Amino acid sequence: MKCEDAQNLLADYSVNGLDGEIRRKLEAHFAVCSHCAYELELLWRVVSFVESAPQKSPPPGLWEGIEASIHRNSEKMEREVGTKR
């Protein structure tokens, strides 16, 4: 299977799992192609997030948490840059 074929099947696979021969071929491709395996992992994260959030909006506090972690990281980077000067 080519990457192009695998990419076309990714969404179906992440939602339905697919079955039979096509699933076997796709899984064989993921085993040898880290790029497609990575795409699948990203897609699974999105699918599981959407399924865990039926109200179709981010859970309260999610963005605050993301902002806080971005802020922490940028502070850390500033400290690291600072020590190199």
Q: What are phi and psi of 7, to 5 degrees?
A: -60, -40
Q: Contacting Zn ion (CB under 5 A), which of 3, 42, 46, 68?
A: 3
Q: Contacting Zn ion (CB under 5 A), which of 18, 22, 33, 43?
A: 33
Task: Give the interface segment with Zn ion, choosing from 8-16, 18-26, 34-42, 46-54 (CB under 5 A).
Answer: 34-42
Q: Does 26 bind Zn ion (CB under 5 A)?
A: no
Q: Does 10 bind Zn ion (CB under 5 A)?
A: no
Distances (CA, A) of 63 to 22, 57, 59, 72, 81: 38, 11, 8, 14, 27
